[in-house]
Structure 1
Amino acid sequence: MQVKKFSRRGVTRVLWLQSVADDGHVPTRSELTAGTDLTDAIASIDGWTLSNQPIETPDLGSTFESKIPGTDQADDSSLGFYEDRASDELEQLLKKDATGWVVFLRKGDVPSSRSMDVFPVRVGSRSPNYSTDNEAAKFTVNFSITEKPVQDAAVPAAVVPKQEK
């Protein structure tokens, strides 16, 4: 199989949505458009993965200790941001206890690509990163993933304006 490799930098988009109407947590194009694009302010990404807690199933008939899939859980997840010296828009948007959805468009905003992951979240904390090093000012937002995320959803089609006849 030939794989067209790419770097997430410059391709992947990360959005913050304050509302998603669908009970299955798949946003519409208008909800994506209404969201806040966080991509250019992100300095680091940690977590945003699911893991499974397997259940051991030993039996008397074998010396092999088999396992079956158990419960799923989301890893601790955070986004690191560059601070904006002139604006506190991100800090106000991502206050402690704010709820919303973090959306990753893994392969960019490519309609019909099954590369959209949607995480229902609540902000657990937001803290500035203090440093005397020669680096940009940053802050970290820690998120609690509150429900099962949607993975590999299709990116909604772009809205095409209707042409008058």
Structure 2
Amino acid sequence: MEGPLSHVVVPGTYDPVTRGHLDVIRRACRIAPQVTVAVAASKSKRGCGTWFSLEERVQMVREAWSEEGGETPIEVRPMEGLLVDFCREVGAHAVVKGLRAATDFEYELAQASLNARMSPGLESIYVMSAPEYGYVSSSVVREIATLGGDVSLLVTPSVAARLGR
């Protein structure tokens, strides 16, 4: 691909979507005029599947983006299969992901290398996590919610309500 980026994908499981995820999506909107959020099926995530169904997670991202005042329109779509195939299907030129720590970097480097082999024109762009979200992950949010803790600083009200059910 040559020239400026016109379309990027922000992939993730979003189980549930956190304020950290929304920060990465917001920053992706500053990188390209068209942003598609790919909510991965991740049926075998960590060997136990996801807490929320794919449809629920797609809806949660849409609601959370609206709730947080996402000014830029984004498209939120379910994704099954390979990320490179999804990017080809939607016409995206790059993938944008957030990095929290060195462990994220190692994992993402391996993923970027594989994606580059399968789709040489697809760029991988990484943004460092904002300091206030560096410790936030979906698994931490789920654990706090399971133990009855307050997750209101980590997720939007609609997501917190779903976690409380």
Higher strand share: 1
State if a TM-score over 0.5 links the two structures.
Answer: no
Higher relative contact order (CA 8 A, sep 6+): 2
TM-score (norm 1): 0.25
Structure having the higher Rg: 1
Higher helix share: 2
TM-score (norm 2): 0.25
